Amino acid sequence: MSFEILPYLCLFLGLITALLAGVFQSFSDFVMQGLLRAAPAGGIDSMQQLNRTVFRSVFITIFMALVPISLAFAVYAWFSLDGPSSRLIIAAAVIYLPFVFIVTAAGNVPMNEKLDKMDHSSDEAADYWKVYGRIWTRWNTIRTFGSIATAACYLLAAISLSQV
């Protein structure tokens, strides 16, 4: 890989993960709060529709693509780069995988799947919705900070590589 392109690749990955952080942050900050303030049936139905729609979005494509890209780039950095840029690129993958991808797969997605199977107007769904909103938002906030930290690593790596 040409060393001239590396700062731009890091810049691109940093901006992409910062965008993901913005999406996650908006959910933690106001989207979930708005849905939780709605009547339970309305909030649940809206969240079910959001969760179904995300699978056909650019967001999910970027979210999923960052897993192999981050891993491959970290392996490349391990074997081909020295100094702070190498450590920052590796750190980006080490942060993204557990704090964004695995939190999503082990925390948010199972909750979404459980919610999706419920009739949005049932008492069972209304009871679950109270727990869902609180716990789902906690997991989502972890994803927010994980994405911010990943973005910071890539952006700092871009700066480090551009100074070589």
- DSSP for 91-145, written as a single string: HHHHHHIIIIIIHIIIIIHHHHHHHHTS-TTSHHHHHHHHHHHHHHHHHHHHHHH
Q: Are 129 and 43 in contact (CB under 8 A)?
A: yes
Asked if pLDDT for residue 109 goes beyond 90, the answer is yes
User: pLDDT tens-digit profile of 32-69?
Assistant: 999 999 999 999 999 999 999 999 999 999 999 999 99
- Model confidence pTM above 0.85: yes
pLDDT at 164 over 90: no
- The reported pLDDT for the residue numbered 24 is 98
Q: Are 99 and 143 in contact (CB under 8 A)?
A: yes
Indicate the average pLDDT of the chain.
Answer: 96
d(CA 163, CA 138): 38
Predicted local confidence at residue 72, as pLDDT: 98
Q: From 88, 106, 89, 104, select the one nearest 24 (Cα to Cα).
A: 104
| Model pLDDT, residue 1 | 55
> What is the spatial distance between Cα 59 and Cα 75, in angstroms, rounded to a whole number?
25
Could you identify the residue written with the tokens 């994803």? 143
Q: Say what the pLDDT of residue 96 is.
A: 98
Asked whether residue 145 carries a pLDDT value surpassing 80, the answer given is: yes
Residue 103 has pLDDT above 90, yes or no: yes
State yes or no: pLDDT of 118 exceeds 80: yes
Q: What angle do CA 146, 150, 153 make, to 5 degrees?
A: 140
Q: State pLDDT tens for residues 2-42.
A: 568 999 999 999 999 999 999 999 999 999 999 999 999 99
